[in-house]
Amino acid sequence: MVESHKKDEIYQELPISVAPMMDWTDRHCRYFLRLISPRVRLYTEMVTSAAVLHGDRDRLLGYHPGEHPLALQLGGSEPEALAACAIEAQERGYDEVNLNVGCPSDRVQSGRFGACLMLEPGRVADCVAAMRSAVSIPVTVKCRIGVDERDSDADLDAFIERLLEIGLEQVIVHARKAWLQGLSPKQNREVPPLEYDRVYRIKQRYPRLNVTINGGITELADIDNHLTQVDGVMIGREAYHNPWLLAELESYFDGTPVLRSRHAVVEAMFPYIEEALSQGLRLQQISRHMLGLFQAQPGARAWRRHISEQAHLPAAGIEVLEQALKCVPQLDAEQARVVTVSS
């Protein structure tokens, strides 16, 4: 069993990460989340190896320096191509390269990457080995606990052991199996039951492997409990819909007040937004990621409504957010509070 973390220990980086999420964790979202939490690890949306090698690399891989610690998630199944992408990631300063072996969508399957690769542990091992030999930054794998009928403990052990043979040091496990046929990606996040004990078992069976757990994790108390069993917790959609959870995690781990208020986070976004608008972006491309900031707070609905109605307009600028902020009362106690599990 992993030793329970101690709240008086100051982490340079929290054992918390935000999952790669298509159409959500783009560079604007990540910059916003970084203002809320300086020390969680952020992941890009999945980028295919073919896109990296043949597409606009600056558009696909560019990021703001303030986003660190930052990992690039790749999708692919060709060792040589993935190794070339890993080199590109390292040269651009990414802190980690992650191989997607967990996404169950039809589009991903047709490209022979994602969850379907769990049926080919030898292929995954070849890909990881090629990337590890090409770069010095960590190479990790994100997977499920099983695929279709290949979901026994023996199947999962065989997959993990094949990766351990080539030196894999960290795995991120979504605690659901994936059905490759019959369920949509959304259903694959909801229908297969969560089996956290099976992820705990991986850590117990392979104690030297760094294990991060993912899937349906929304509450601080649950995060605290998971960290008594595994090394890290990856938060998915909850971090997008309720991003203030990340600020509460910062406070909880340090035992110190929240770094800045929600209003201060919005105001800290203004220079970034103005720079982006000057380059031809629309406000909506950034503000859509900020809608959940006041989740469950007085005025949250008015905040969301004002931005949704105004941010898409051609001339929309930071005045839209300034007006939206007026819909939400500023709570002086928000910054002074130290978050505990019972908060």
Residues tagged active-site: 103
| Residue indicated by tokens 């005025």 | 299
Residue pair 202/222 in contact by the 8 Å Cβ criterion? no
Of 290, 314, 146, 140, nearest in space to 215 by CA:
146
Helix (H) or strand (E) holding 283: none
**Among 144, 222, 232, 219, CA closest to 188:** 144
Q: How many CB atoms lie within 10 A of CB 3?
A: 7
Give the three-class secondary structure for 144.
strand
Listed residue (291, 293, 328) closest to 310, CA to CA: 291
Those residues with Cβ within 8 angstroms of residue 281's Cβ, 6 or more apart along the chain or in another chain: none
Beta bridge partners of 198: none
Q: Do residues 155 and 146 touch, judged by C-beta distance below 8 A?
A: yes
Position of tokens 């008594």?
Answer: 228
- SS3 at position 17: strand
Residue type, 5: H
Note the helical H segments in 92-219.
106-110, 121-134, 153-165, 185-188, 196-205
Rounded to 5 degrees, what are φ and ψ at 100? -80, 110
Rg of the chain over Cα atoms, rounded to whole angstroms, equals 20
**Nearest residue to 219 via CA among 60, 341, 41:** 341
Q: Are 79 and 127 in contact (CB under 8 A)?
A: yes
Q: CA dihedral defined by 49, 50, 55, 56, rounded to 10 degrees? A: -10
